[in-house]
């Protein structure tokens, strides 16, 4: 056997280096998977919170509209000034709840949507003041504005594929 080349031998050092490289690759892959999982959970929480806020905005808007109409239709000869003030307070409180949720939603949307949310809140406040003084409470214009923003809310919650 004079002309043969020596066979490379696998030593314990080679095995250790191979196992260490395999462990490093596994750790990197697990880190990648954990990062992806955190991203999925984060998007899910954001989606759920936005959906909950959209639902609350609709509830508070409808409740505010109901209370404003009730205040406007309150018979001044039956209700005293105290009862009218209480109805107005309840209507204002509901409008402020809507304003809080609308502000929360506006903060997570484009800047161009902040003004319409604020405008709806101001319109509702104006309607409460008008209804409290015995004036009309036509909510049609505010409803139109709100439904346009509600479409945006629905679009922001609808998952894209």
pLDDT per residue as tens, the chain (161 positions): 555 666 677 788 888 999 999 999 999 999 999 999 999 988 888 888 888 888 899 999 999 999 999 998 887 777 788 888 899 999 999 999 999 998 888 887 666 777 888 899 999 999 999 988 888 888 888 998 898 888 877 777 666 65
Q: Where are the domains of the chain?
A: 49-157
Return d(Cα 86, Cα 90) in angstroms, integer. Answer: 6
- What's the rounded Cα separation, in Å, for the pair 91 and 62? 11
Rounded CA-CA distance 143/41 in Å is 35
Helix (H) or strand (E) holding 87: helix 81-107
């Amino acid at each position: 056997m004079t002309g043969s080349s020596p066979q490379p031998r696998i030593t314990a050092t080679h095995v250790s280096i191979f196992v260490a490289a395999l462990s490093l690759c596994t750790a990197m892959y697990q880190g990648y998977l954990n990062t992806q999982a955190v991203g999925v959970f984060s998007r899910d929480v954001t989606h759920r919170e936005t959906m909950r806020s959209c639902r609350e905005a609709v509830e508070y808007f409808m409740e505010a509209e109901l209370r404003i109409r009730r205040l406007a239709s309150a018979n001044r000869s039956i209700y005293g000034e105290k009862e009218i003030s209480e109805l107005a307070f309840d209507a204002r409180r509901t409008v402020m709840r809507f304003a809080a949720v609308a502000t929360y939603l506006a903060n997570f949307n484009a800047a161009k949507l902040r003004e319409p949310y604020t405008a709806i809140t101001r319109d509702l406040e104006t309607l409460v003041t008008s209804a409290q003084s015995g004036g009309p409470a036509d909510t049609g214009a505010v409803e139109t504005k709100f439904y346009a923003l509600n479409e945006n809310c629905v679009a922001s919650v609808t998952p894209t594929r």
